[in-house]
Amino acid sequence: MHGLGNDFAVFDARKQTLMLTPAVARALADRRRGIGCDQIIVIGDGANGCTATMRIVNADGSEVETCGNAARCVARLLLEETGKDTVTLFTLGGKLSCRAAEDGLIAVDMGAPVLDWQTIPLAEAVDTDRFTFDLAGTPIEASAVSLGNPHCVLFVDDAETADVAGLGSQIETHPLFPKRTNVEFVAVTGKDALRMRVWERGAGITLACGSGACASFVAARRRGLVGDACDMTLDGGALRLSTTEAGHVLMTGPAALVYSGEIDLTEFSA
């Protein structure tokens, strides 16, 4: 499945045991010798009152807390399976409430953004709205937000020419971010319109990052660059982002099923 080109190998582990080690995850994510994907997604039985659990493992084998694009994909499967209007997903980053929206889109309540530097987390106290840190002798101005996972948002004049690979890979592992970080490069392109490119923690450059889009929206809104809703254009397409009365971030976008099949993980692992 994919959400705006951010692609996933989705496994349903509700009726069978799935032994997913980091090595197996890396092999599955290999685009030449495996299925090929940005992340491995595992659907598990419901927990904490949720319809199902969602586990997210990056292409490098590391496990992460949440994923907005994957949430839309899993929600689509569960909405079609149950026939319900809403489903809830339990992730390491918290509970996600998902519903069917107009034109076949899926809306996900990503929860309230975390802005406290210790909780995001950062290694030292900063004003997460706007702070500067040193990167190999170059000062970098950024914002920091967590939507269940950490994000470092850089506002740039032109997202198209931003050094996503060079800066993103360095910032991901900067000591300021003890759990590593996703890195977003964001430009204002119009009234309540943003353009974002992303370096994802553990996956590199991807065509879209749902939680990153939400974090970028929050950071832009804090600086007065957008209002209570905006259109976010990513490499893979567009998302609609808005705030709820509860102060949560609502993300609306597509979820596509590419194909379904079976794999013998015992044979594959060997």
What are the residue numbers of the active site? 67, 209
List, in order, residues 6 or more apart from 101 with CB less than 8 Å away: 107, 252
Q: Identify whether the C-beta of residue 54 lies closer than 8 Å to the C-beta of residue 193.
A: no
Q: How far apart are the first and last CA of the chain?
A: 25
Collapse the DSSP code of 59 into the 3-class scheme (helix H, G, I; strand E, B; otherwise coil) and give the result: coil
Backbone angles phi, psi at 132, to 5 degrees: -125, 135
Q: How far is CA 117 from CA 50, 146, 176, 222, in A?
A: 29, 9, 10, 15
Q: Closest Cα partner for 129 from 144, 139, 140?
A: 144
Q: Closest Cα partner for 96 from 50, 58, 45, 47?
A: 50
| DSSP secondary structure code for residue 256 in this structure | B
DSSP string, 147-188: SSSEEEEEE-S-GGGS-HHHHHHHHHT-TT-TT--EEEEEEE
> CB-based burial of residue 170 (10 Å sphere; 0-12 exposed, 13-18 middle, 19+ buried)?
middle
Q: Closest Cα partner for 230 from 211, 250, 212?
A: 250
CA dihedral of 13, 17, 19, 20, whole degrees rounded to 10 = 0
